[in-house]
Amino acid sequence: RLVFHTQLAHGSPTGRIEGFTNVKELYAKIAEVFDISPTEILFCTLNTHKVDMQKLLGGQIGLEDFIFAHVRGETKEVEVTKTEDALGLTITDNGAGYAFIKRIKEGSIINRLQTVCVGDSIEAINDHSIVGCRHYEVARMLRELPRAQPFTLRLVQPKKAFDMIGQRTRSSKSPGEGRVASGKETLRLRAQGPATLEE
């Protein structure tokens, strides 16, 4: 019996899943472990919690692979005007009803829209729900949209960890504070006395 370890990508305890034969069953097992609906899962990555399309769960899972489930985060609506034939998107789907953005071409129409990100699930085009459509159907719909006519994309971004924590800005308090270590230093923990940083 094969047992796989899983976590929600934005943070959760580790769960154990087994006994699935396809993506829909896998999502159902993950959902059961974390007490969420299988429709909350947008896609899974292997061995990283990051939205890394090189690590996307496809048709195979290694026995040592750790499965991270990326779940629905915020919904956003974006208005796009098609000024060229190609939008600059590569779309894939999770095999369970959600199409999402796998790649955004540098310098493309979509690339110029700061709000659209790799990993965003495409939920609707002009309020027409595309949930349940395969990636090639969604790509065809986008291709067939007329040029120069604005359209609306409803996107769902994957939930991210620590969204509420801002980036730390460099402060001018003391020169040592906030500096990035070279990676060659060690934090030495002691039984008596304070911990020290050593080269």
**Domain range for 38:** 3-71+181-198
How far apart CA 133 and CA 79 sit, in angstroms, is 21
How far apart CA 159 and CA 69 sit, in angstroms, is 10
Which of these, 99, 80, 105, lies nearest to 139 by C-alpha position?
99
Mean pLDDT of 10-28: 91
Domain membership of residue 175 (yes or no) is: no
Domain membership of residue 123 (yes or no) is: yes
pLDDT at 194: 66
DSSP state of 56: B
Residues 15 and 51 in one domain: yes
Domain membership of residue 94 (yes or no) is: yes
How far apart CA 66 and CA 49 sit, in angstroms, is 10
With a cut of 80, say whether residue 134 has pLDDT above it: yes
How far apart CA 103 and CA 96 sit, in angstroms, is 19
Instruction: Read off the pTM.
Output: 0.78
Residues 77 and 144 in one domain: yes
pLDDT tens track for 104-127: 999 999 999 989 999 999 999 999
Residue 17 belongs to domain with CATH number: 3.10.20
